[in-house]
Amino acid sequence: MRQKAGEKLFQVVLVVLLSLLCLTVLYPFVYMLAISLNEGADAAKGGVYLIPRTFTLINYEIVLGNEVIRHAYLVTIARTIVGTVAGLSVTLLVAFGLSYKGLPMRRTILGYILITMLFSGGLVPFYIQLNNLGLLNTFWVYILPGMFSVWNMFVMLKFIQGIPEALIESAELDGASPPRVLWQIVVPLSKPMLAALGLFTAVGHWNDWFAGAFFVSDQSLIPVQTFLQQLLSASDISAVLGSNTNQEALARSQMQNITLMSIKMAVVMASALPILCVYPFLQKYFVKGVLVGSVKG
């Protein structure tokens, strides 16, 4: 009986601690949402913790009415789609090619790939090479350099090697060529794996700000995260309001005392919301991907 009470107390303490932890994860988003839905000047006085005190949508109207931001969204969406499809295709093709154990020079090619995980030329020679290839300041600088992920390839390779060989051999006996085997046997069987790797690649593209910040100078080519990075250290709102086409919102904003902080919160929420919305549905794929990748091959 005493043990049962102790057990109950232990569970209560555990639940309280873990709930607090969840709160520290979730609360910043609630706070930022509240600030972004509050009038800027009012929020700056402090005290807006949970729900907006003077509710307004003006911050979002300004952000979504801004051409630079809308354009940055298009760039982000385009690079996420193109980058994920291209990256997944290359990774799958290489992994499938290397899954043939009898392939001449297989070990040499594996070594050639592995070395790149151990040593790199560093940032500056990489930058010089991007310059020599004419990739700086083009959309392709987001796609090509990261298109072949060695790590994902090894995860995929391990997965393909786990497919029963008899399946592939019997298809080959029926005269199926490697592309056919890939398309009709390997791809259908690797769907969960492809989903996991695809999601990781997509999140990587969605979140990348570095390439946009250092390999691109044309403002019409920067993705949302790079825009956010530039805005992070901005000292006045002209960075956002400069090219606003939404004149009416702009005129109202002068009266409503919007602040840099409230605008910032609206931009960052607009970039975080898509991830917050899809995350609950896709979480299981992410976890699956990590677990397959972690088992040593």
Partner 1 sequence: MFAKLYKHRWQYLMIFPGVLLLLLFSYIPMAGIQVAFRDFQIGSSIWSSPWVGMDNFAFLDEPQFWTVVKNTLYISVLKFVFGFPAPILLALMINEVAHSAFKRFVQSVSYLPHFFSWIVVAYILQSVLTIDGGLVNDWIAKAGGEPIFFLGSTEWFRPIVVGSGLWKETGWNTILYLAAFTTIDPQLYEAAKVEGAGRFARIRHITLPGIVPTISIVLILSIPSLIAVGMDQIYPLMNSANMAVADVLDTYVLRSGLQQGYFGMATAVGLLSSVISLALVLTTNQLSRKINGEGLW
Site for partner 1 in 83-142 (CB under 8 A): 90-91, 93-94, 96-98, 100, 103-104, 109, 112-114, 116, 118-129, 131, 133
Q: Does 20 bind partner 1 (CB under 8 A)?
A: no
> By three-state DSSP, how is residue 55 classified?
strand
Q: What would the x/- binding string for partner 1 be over residues 157 to 176, using CB under 8 A? A: --------------------
Binding piece for partner 1, criterion CB under 8 A, among 58-66, 168-176, 243-251, 276-284: 276-284
Is residue 264 within 8 A of residue 231, CB to CB? The reply is yes
C-beta of 61 vs 293, nearer to partner 1: 293
Q: Whole-number minimum distance, CB 14 to partner 1, in Å?
A: 6
**Piece in contact with partner 1 (CB under 8 A), picked from 44-52, 60-68, 70-78, 165-173:** 44-52
Q: Which is nearer to partner 1, 16 or 245 (CB)?
A: 16
DSSP string, 196-213: HHHHHHHHHHHH--HHHH
Nearest-Å Rg of the Cα atoms of the chain is: 25
Interacting residues of 49 by C-beta distance below 8 A, sequence separation 6+: 31, 34
Cβ distance to partner 1 smaller for residue 170 or 177: 177
**Does 234 sit near partner 1 (CB under 8 A)?**
no
Shortest gap between Cβ of 208 and partner 1 (angstroms)? 8
For the bound state, the minimum distance from the C-beta of residue 248 to partner 1, rounded and expressed in Å, comes to 27
Of 63, 75, 94, give the one whose Cα is nearest residue 141: 75
Where does this chain touch partner 1 (CB under 8 A) — which range of 50-58, 168-176, 183-191, 223-231?
A: 223-231
Dihedral of alpha carbons 101, 158, 88, 187, sign = positive
**CA 39 to CA 56: how far, in whole Å?**
6
Draw the binding track, 50-89, toward partner 1 (x: CB under 8 A; -: no contact). ----------------------------------------
Closest CB 272 distance from partner 1, rounded Å: 6
| SS3 category, 66 | strand
Cα 136 to its chain centre, rounded Å, is 22
CA distance 199 to 194: 8
Rule CB under 8 A: say whether 242 interacts with partner 1: no
Q: How far is the CB of 266 from partner 1 (least distance, A)?
A: 11
Decide: helix, strand or coil at residue 38: strand
The C-alpha atoms of residue 228 and residue 232 are separated, in whole angstroms, by: 6
Q: Which of 9, 14, 51, 81 binds partner 1 (CB under 8 A)?
A: 14
Helix (H, G, I), strand (E, B) or coil at 33: helix
